[in-house]
Amino acid sequence: MHCGIDFGTSNTTMAVRGVNGPVLVPLENGAVTIPTALFYTVGNREILFGRAAVKAYLDGQEGRFMRSLKRVLGTSLMEGSVLVNGARTNFDVIIGRFLSHIRHRAEEHCGNSLTDVTIGRPVHFQDGNPEADARAENQLRAIAEKSGFKNIRFQYEPIAAALAHEKNVAGEKLALVIDIGGGTSDFSVIRLSRDYQPGRDRAGDILANTGVRIGGNDCDKAINLDTAMPLLGMGSAYGDKNLAMPLLLYHELSEWSKVNWTYTPQNINMVRSLAREAHAPDKIQLLENVLEEQLGHKILDVSENLKITLAGQENAAADFSFLAPQLQRAMTQAEMGTLLGAILFPVRTMMLETLHLAGVAAKDIAIIVLTGGSTGLPVFRHWVAEYFPHATVLQEDRLGSVGLGMVL
């Protein structure tokens, strides 16, 4: 039986073709999305996946939490290994565990073996580096093979999202897909019609296909650097010469895929010695606690939740009271808009470049397909209103449409 996988930076889905068309398969307690996350319990005796992994970590269970694994594909980190509870483990093994897990879940549900697969890929895993891009796809293919998949094909994520929405398009229309996920922002200009014959070769319908490695993870990073990291001494000084606290550690603590690298004895020793000369020693003490107690993901989780809350309301506060009593940071939606406007500037440029590459003007776009969790941010509604005021916006199933399109 043929299946499709949207292996996302933040969330993963799997789809199969049911009698009435594509359907998503429940992957975790009836839910069709599963966070792309693993938790290795101490001694690596057990591996938890998805929400169970997130919960174990947030509950403070001892072990190693892994998230945003897709971001590692194509990078030099794939060649190295990571210490997971004292045991050296390679990323391909970790990603493979996740893919095997969801395959087994889906097979249990469908009662069929699922080896024939179409896997989604962003237009670019890495920006401006075609070799790294090809490497990332090859790595993912090799991991999928080791996880038990046989006939492996790839589909661009935004194209899959477009195909999933095509049944709603009467007549022939030009669509722009805006897929803003956790790790990447992808755009496609594609001709859609529900009247096209099944099996039609779509190559000629795809007018442009672009992407940039910026997504919700980068928004979390910006918010984390603005709210949480100053509480841990970022921007404060140390020593007689008023030197600024080194930034690298704060940046690594703000990046989902790098947090695990910060908890090293070297970093802890560095922070201890800086604390002795620090002008804000209480904050540096908090930083030391964060490293010792491995709280980086928990802080980032608060920042991500602040972002999601502010996507829907004017004001919110990030609660860091697990670091120190009553520690909070308030933010307004407008402040977040300014912060993220800068991060997302290249994304807007890429969206406009996609139209240029397709040889069309904004007014030629009749349909906007909005997909990916990050399109919940108000900034994307504003862009659509500004550039495509007359287009019809299709945005149902923001977390599922890419997966569904994999089996179309």
Ligand X SMILES: Nc1ncnc2c1ncn2[C@@H]1O[C@H](COP(=O)(O)OP(=O)(O)OP(=O)(O)O)[C@@H](O)[C@H]1O
Q: Give contact residues for Mg ion (rule: CB under 5 A).
A: 8, 181
Please say which residue, 166 or 186, places its beta carbon nearer to ligand X: 186
Query: Is residue 401 involved in binding ligand X (CB under 6 A)?
Result: no
Report the C-alpha gap between 185 and 176 in whole angstroms: 13
372 lines the binding site for ligand X (CB under 6 A): yes
Cα–Cα distances (Å) from 259 to 67, 84, 294, 360, 363, in that order, read 9, 13, 9, 42, 43
Distance CA 216, CA 124 (A): 16
Site membership for ligand X, residue 181 (CB under 6 A): yes
On whether the CB atoms of residues 184 and 213 are closer than 8 A, the answer is yes
Q: In terms of DSSP H, where are the helices of 31-150?
A: 50-58, 91-110, 130-146
Structure tokens that stand for 352 in this block: 């406009």
Taking the C-alpha atoms of residue 105 and residue 99, their distance in angstroms, rounded to an integer, is 10
Compare residues 8 and 400 and give the one whose CB is closer to Mg ion: 8
Minimum distance from residue 21 beta carbon to ligand X (Å): 21
Backbone angles phi, psi at 194, to 5 degrees: -75, -10
302, containing H or E segment: helix 296-312
Measured CA to CA, the distance from residue 296 to residue 255 in angstroms comes to 9
- Distance between CA atoms of residues 123 and 350, nearest Å: 12
Cβ proximity to ligand X: between 181 and 233 the closer is 181
Residue 182 within binding range of ligand X, rule CB under 6 A: yes
Q: Residue 212 or residue 274: which is nearer to ligand X going by CB?
A: 212
Q: Which of residues 11, 224, 260, 262 is near ligand X by CB under 6 A?
A: 11
The yes or no reply on residue 9 touching ligand X (CB under 6 A) is: yes
Q: Which of 399, 406, 407, 408 binds ligand X (CB under 6 A)?
A: 399
Q: Which of residues 70-129 bind ligand X (CB under 6 A)?
A: 70
CA angle, 74 as apex, 7 and 66 as ends, to 5°?
Answer: 55
- Residue 37 beta carbon to ligand X: minimum distance, rounded to whole angstroms: 10
Give the residue with the Cβ less far from ligand X, 119 or 208. Answer: 119
The residue whose Cβ lies closest to ligand X is: 216
Q: By CB under 6 A, name the one of 50, 216, 403, 405 that touches ligand X.
A: 216
- Length of the chain counted residue by residue: 408
Q: Which does 215 bind (CB under 5 to 8 A by kind): Mg ion, ligand X, none?
A: ligand X
Q: Does 405 bind ligand X (CB under 6 A)?
A: no
List of residues contacting ligand X (CB under 6 A): 8-11, 70, 157, 181-184, 215-217, 304, 308, 311, 372-374, 376-377, 399
